C-alpha cells in the first residue's frame, strides 16, 4: 500500500497495522457477529476489550498501582475545566505558561479556582524557551501546579518533569501530555495527574485519557457534573456513562502495536523514545544546516513530536506546500496562530517518512537557491 505520509498535529496518523486490523474486524469482532461500534459497553465482549486496553496501557506507561486509569470524553480542552473542578478545592492553583495550550488551561481554570496564578511564563521569549524551574514563583498551599509537558503549536517540550518537592512545593503536579503521551517514559513519582486526548499518539479522536493518583480522588466541587467526577468515573471503571467504545478499541490495538515495537534490546515505550529521538534529530539537523529553513525554539527545549519551522523567504510557502503534497507529504502547514510549517512526527510516523520530508526539503532548497 503506497500511502502518503501524514504530518498532521491531530487527529493524526494511526499505525497501518492498527487500521488494517480494525478494517478486518469491522463487521465481526472475533466471531461475535457484531462490530465493536455495535456492542453494549456492558457486554462481556466490550468489557474484555476495555480490560485488555487498560492492562496494556498500565504496562506500557509503567503506571503505578496507586494511580487510576480513566477513559473519558471531552478531549484536553474539557479537562481544562474538569481538572480544576476535581482538584482545585476552590483554592489557589499555579500554572507554568509555555504556549497556547497552557494559556487555554489557565484561562479555563480561572472559572473554578479562587485564584489561578501564572508562576512562570515563556511568553517573553515568544514561547521559544521553557522557564527555569528554579525561578518559578510557586504559591504556598497551591492545590496543584499545571504544566503542558509538550506544546503542540509552539514546539517546546519538557525533557524532564520538574521535581516540585525539590522546589519546596507539596502540590501535586498536573501534566497535559496530550501530544507526547507514549512517546517517552514518565516519571510518575513526580506526577499527581496526567491527561491527554488520544488523537495524536494513541488512536482516534473521542477518547481522553486521565491517569490520577488515588489520594486526589473525592474532592470534586459541588458544581462538577457526575460524569466528570474522577471518583465516580473510577468507582465505575469508566462505565458510569457510555464510554467512547470505538476509540477505546482502536487505542487498545495501538497499545498492542506499541508493545510489539523494538529498537535493539528496547521494547515498547522505551523503543519508541529511542526511535523518536532519532527521527527528531534527523529533522532538526536538516533545518539547522539549511540556509532556507529555521526553527526558533531553543535547542534544549525542542519537541520531539511537533517541529515548527519557517522558510526565511515566506513568499515560497505556498510553493513548498504544493510540492510537498505532490510528494505525498501531507498536513505540513503550521498552525494559523504562528504560521510557517509544522511537522508532527508522532509514534506512527516511521523514520522513512521523516527521511522523505528531509529529502524534499533539501531538494526544494537546492532548486530555489
Please identify every residue annotated as catalytic: 101, 176, 200
Q: Phi/psi zone of residue 130: left (φ > 0), alpha (ψ -120 to 50 degrees), beta? A: beta
Query: What cell does 348 get?
Result: 506512527
Torsion (CA) 225, 142, 207, 158 in degrees, nearest 10: 170
Closest CA to 83 of 176, 152, 5: 176
Cα separation of 154 and 259, whole Å? 30
Closest CA to 345 of 304, 317, 309, 312: 304
Cα separation of 345 and 6, whole Å? 9
Cα separation of 313 and 290, whole Å? 13
Do strands 156-157 and 115-121 pair parallel, antiparallel, or not at all (unpaired)? unpaired
Please answer whether residues 336 and 322 qualify as being in contact, where contact means their C-beta atoms are separated by less than 8 angstroms: no
Closest CA to 203 of 365, 57, 64, 102: 57
Amino acid at each position: 500500500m503506497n500511502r502518503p505520509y501524514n504530518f498532521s498535529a491531530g487527529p493524526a496518523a494511526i499505525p497501518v497495522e492498527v487500521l488494517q486490523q480494525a478494517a478486518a474486524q469491522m463487521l465481526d469482532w472475533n466471531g461475535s457477529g457484531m462490530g465493536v461500534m455495535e456492542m453494549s459497553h456492558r457486554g462481556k465482549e466490550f468489557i474484555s476489550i476495555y480490560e485488555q486496553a487498560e492492562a496494556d496501557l498500565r504496562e506500557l506507561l509503567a503506571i503505578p498501582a496507586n494511580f487510576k486509569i480513566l477513559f473519558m470524553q471531552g478531549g484536553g480542552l474539557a479537562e481544562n475545566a474538569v481538572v480544576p473542578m476535581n482538584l482545585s478545592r476552590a483554592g489557589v492553583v499555579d500554572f507554568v505558561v509555555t504556549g497556547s495550550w497552557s494559556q487555554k488551561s489557565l484561562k479555563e481554570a480561572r472559572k473554578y479556582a479562587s485564584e489561578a496564578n501564572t508562576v512562570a511564563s515563556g511568553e517573553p521569549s515568544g514561547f521559544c524557551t521553557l522557564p527555569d524551574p528554579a525561578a518559578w514563583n510557586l504559591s504556598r498551599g497551591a492545590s496543584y501546579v499545571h504544566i503542558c509537558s509538550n506544546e503542540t503549536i509552539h514546539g517546546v517540550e519538557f525533557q524532564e518533569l520538574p521535581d516540585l518537592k525539590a522546589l519546596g512545593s507539596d502540590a501535586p503536579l498536573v501534566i497535559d501530555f496530550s501530544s507526547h503521551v507514549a512517546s517517552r517514559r514518565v516519571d510518575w513519582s513526580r506526577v499527581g495527574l496526567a491527561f491527554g486526548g488520544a488523537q495524536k499518539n494513541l488512536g482516534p479522536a473521542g477518547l481522553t485519557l486521565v491517569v490520577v493518583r488515588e489520594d486526589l480522588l473525592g474532592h470534586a466541587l459541588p458544581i462538577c457534573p457526575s460524569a466528570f467526577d474522577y471518583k465516580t468515573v473510577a468507582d465505575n471503571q469508566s462505565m458510569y456513562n457510555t464510554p467512547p467504545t470505538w476509540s477505546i478499541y482502536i487505542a487498545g490495538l495501538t497499545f498492542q502495536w506499541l508493545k510489539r515495537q523494538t529498537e535493539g534490546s528496547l521494547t515498547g515505550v522505551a523503543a519508541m523514545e529511542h526511535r523518536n529521538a532519532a527521527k527528531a534529530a534527523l529533522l532538526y539537523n536538516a533545518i539547522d544546516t539549511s540556509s532556507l529553513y529555521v526553527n526558533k525554539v531553543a535547542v534544549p527545549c525542542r519537541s520531539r513530536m511537533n517541529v515548527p519551522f519557517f522558510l526565511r523567504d515566506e513568499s515560497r510557502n505556498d510553493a513548498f506546500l504544493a510540492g510537498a503534497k505532490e510528494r505525498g507529504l501531507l498536513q505540513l502547514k503550521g498552525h494559523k496562530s504562528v504560521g510557517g510549517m509544522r511537522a508532527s512526527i508522532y509514534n506512527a510516523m516511521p523514520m522513512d517518512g521523516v527521511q522523505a520530508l528531509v529529502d524534499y526539503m533539501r531538494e526544494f532548497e537546492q532548486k530555489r537557491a
